[in-house]
């Protein structure tokens, strides 16, 4: 019986995570904030400086704007200007493939079994994928994996690349607020190494160097346009609850997020047996990100990134220990080749399916007209309707792209970076809360209502009063306030001179 590893299986196992990245990271739908990221990047680029106060809303106009994603937005704008939708889609995919390459390199530092590597990596990629839209967060996932790579290089005594951490942080702090995860990772690791050195007597070489690079990297977080004020802002805002689904906790005792829970169980399973070549810092960091993931679903990708190399090594070591006791469980060369063929089919399917999404739309980003008010916004633009626009949170940046300067929005995806807490709370009104909707409408001096087709707004048609119903489609409804400001527009409406879209809305960005 030949137990030599099959080269075909090794190649297939290496390629499977790559094809999985193509499959899971090839989303082609628009994120609610994509319009804003490109628009804000354009404004920064053309002004050659940051926009420091809000120019887009009537509820926070002139308020300070802490734009912690400004560099990402410039990158998005320049990519879109030069390469269009395809540049954004393939740029996002390239970042995902870079993350897979970094994790693959980390896994290669230690002994691994090809099938274990392939299985765990695919599972980890599926956990990372929900956050992989065209949004600044993808840069945080990339830089977090680079931080992890530097730490593994250092603690495996391969290369001391700690000097890269401040350089990475100086970029990361201007790309996205997720730099706090990298900073927290480094603080956790250095604190753990210090504890084991002084409390548990496990001597750590160059502990002073670790503290030095932690302090320098911490200082690099100040290399942003807002200085220390950015850190204060993030501290204050992150401590407050958010009424956004991705910030909700992950329930433990239901069937939601099965891939995350399976990955968590595998991590816990590795703790049941004394780990080989145990890196205590790695266990603590994995536990830290696991807790963060269950507290806020938004952090799941960080857990997927950090735990994959750990599970690959520990499960590989466990299986290597068990195999000599059960020789019949060892795959023959023929069995390995058959598995390689199966993996090859799976690789081809994932690669084909991922790129087929791009081919079907000619590398365009899809804007679902059943999700976004593309037809209603087009109606407002066609009729040159101007004024303060009251609308839902998820539609704000789409409206900014299409209707600024004609309309000022009541809220958008910039959230606490610009809007007061009272404005945010008022806009998160459940569909069934009629009193909440009435308060929202009366509290803010809006000229136009753009809302979901909910029973409250359908009833508003029958009630009459200060609001005149002028447009609706399957997803959105539009009212104009019966006021002097809207007098000319309402006269055109009553005379039947409003233009209505005579063709279905485009499904493509923008």
At 469-501, the pLDDT tens digits run: 999 999 999 999 999 999 999 999 999 999 988
DSSP H or E segment with residue 305: helix 300-322
- Phi, psi dihedral angles at 29 (to 5 degrees): -90, 150
| pLDDT, tens digit, 9 for 90 and up, residues 340-377 | 999 999 999 999 999 999 999 999 999 998 899 999 99
254 vs 144, more confident: 144
Q: What is the pLDDT of residue 278?
A: 56
What are the extents of the domains in the chain? 18-241+249-360, 374-494
Pick the CATH number of 374-494 from 2.60.120, 3.40.630, 2.60.40, 3.40.190: 3.40.190
DSSP string, 313-335: HHHHHHHHHHGGG-GGGSPPHHH
| pLDDT, tens digit, 9 for 90 and up, residues 403-432 | 998 999 999 999 999 999 999 999 988 878
Across 156-160, 201-205, 269-273, 383-387, the highest mean pLDDT is recorded for 383-387
pLDDT at 35 over 80: yes
pLDDT at 1 over 50: no
Across 213-217, 290-294, 324-328, 429-433, the highest mean pLDDT is recorded for 213-217
87 vs 196, more confident: 87
Measured between alpha carbons, how far is 81 from 297 in angstroms, rounded to an integer?
Answer: 33
Instruction: Retrieve residue 22's tokens.
Output: 């193509």
Measured between alpha carbons, how far is 159 from 154 in angstroms, rounded to an integer?
Answer: 6
Contact by Cβ (8 Å): 220, 87: no
Closest CA to 96 of 128, 123, 121: 128
Measured between alpha carbons, how far is 320 from 115 in angstroms, rounded to an integer?
Answer: 12
Q: What is the pLDDT of residue 502?
A: 83
270 vs 366, more confident: 366
C-beta neighbour count of 86 within 10 angstroms = 16
pLDDT at 2 over 60: no
C-beta neighbour count of 242 within 10 angstroms = 16
2 vs 237, more confident: 237
| pLDDT, tens digit, 9 for 90 and up, residues 48-87 | 999 999 999 999 999 999 999 999 999 999 999 999 999 9
Question: Residues of 64-73 as b/e, b for ≥16 C-beta within 10 angstroms?
Answer: ebbbbbbbbb
Share the mean pLDDT of the chain.
Answer: 91
Mean pLDDT is lowest, of 136-150, 368-382, 491-505, for 491-505
Q: What is the pLDDT of residue 233?
A: 93
pTM beyond 0.85, yes or no: yes
Stretch 278-302: mean pLDDT = 90
Q: What is the pLDDT of residue 222?
A: 97
Cα angle vertex 185, ends 179, 189, to 5°?
150
| pLDDT, tens digit, 9 for 90 and up, residues 90-120 | 999 999 999 999 999 999 988 889 999 999 9
Please confirm whether the linkage preceding 405 is cis (ω < 30° from 0): yes
Stretch 380-385: mean pLDDT = 94
pLDDT at 324 over 90: no
């Amino acid at each position: 019986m030949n137990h030599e590893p099959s080269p075909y299986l090794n190649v297939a196992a290496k390629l499977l995570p790559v094809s999985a990245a193509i499959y899971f990271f090839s989303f082609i739908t628009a994120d609610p904030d994509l319009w804003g990221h490109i628009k804000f990047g354009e404004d920064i680029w053309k002004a050659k400086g940051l926009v420091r106060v809000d120019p887009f809303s009537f509820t926070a106009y002139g308020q300070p704007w802490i734009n912690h994603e400004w560099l990402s937005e410039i990158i998005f704008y320049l990519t879109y200007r030069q390469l269009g939708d395809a540049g954004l889609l393939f740029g996002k995919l390239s970042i995902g493939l870079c993350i897979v390459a970094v994790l693959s390199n980390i896994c290669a530092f230690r002994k691994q079994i090809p099938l274990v590597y392939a299985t765990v990596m695919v599972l980890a990629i599926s956990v990372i994928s929900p956050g992989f839209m065209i949004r600044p967060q993808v840069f945080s996932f990339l830089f977090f994996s680079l931080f992890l790579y530097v730490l593994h290089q250092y603690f495996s005594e391969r290369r001391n690349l700690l000097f890269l951490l401040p350089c990475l942080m100086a970029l990361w702090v201007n790309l996205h607020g997720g730099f706090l995860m990298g900073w927290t990772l480094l603080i956790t690791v250095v604190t753990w190494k210090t504890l084991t050195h002084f409390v548990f007597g496990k001597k750590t070489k160059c502990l002073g160097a670790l503290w030095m690079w932690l302090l320098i990297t911490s200082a690099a977080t100040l290399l942003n346009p807002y200085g220390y004020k950015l850190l204060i802002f993030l501290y204050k805002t992150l401590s407050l609850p958010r009424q956004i689904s991705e910030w909700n906790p992950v329930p433990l005792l239901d069937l939601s997020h099965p891939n995350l829970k399976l990955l968590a169980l595998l991590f816990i399973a590795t703790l049941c047996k004394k780990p080989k070549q145990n890196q205590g810092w790695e266990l603590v960091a994995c536990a830290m990100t696991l807790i963060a993931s269950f507290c806020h679903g938004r952090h799941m990708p960080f857990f997927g990134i950090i735990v994959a190399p750990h599970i690959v090594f520990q499960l590989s070591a466990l299986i290597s220990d068990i195999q000599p006791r059960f020789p019949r469980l060892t795959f023959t060369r023929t069995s390995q080749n058959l598995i390689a063929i199966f993996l090859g089919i799976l690789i081809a399917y994932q690669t084909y399916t991922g790129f087929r999404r791009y081919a079907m739309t000619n590398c365009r980003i899809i804007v679902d007209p059943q999700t976004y008010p593309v037809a209603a916004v087009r109606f407002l633009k066609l009729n040159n309707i101007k004024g303060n626009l009251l609308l839902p949170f998820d539609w704000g940046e789409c409206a900014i792209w299409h209707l600024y300067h004609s309309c000022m929005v009541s809220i958008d995806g910039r959230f606490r970076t610009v809007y007061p807490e009272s404005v945010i709370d008022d806009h998160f009104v459940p569909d069934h809360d009629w009193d909440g909707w009435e308060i929202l409408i009366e509290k803010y001096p809006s000229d136009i209502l753009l809302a979901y087709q909910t029973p409250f707004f359908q009833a508003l048609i029958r009630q009459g009063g200060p609001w005149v119903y002028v447009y609706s489609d399957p997803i959105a409804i539009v009212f104009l306030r019966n006021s002097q400001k809207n007098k000319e527009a309402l006269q055109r409406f009553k005379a039947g001179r409003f233009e209505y879209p005579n063709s279905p809305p485009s499904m493509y960005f923008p």
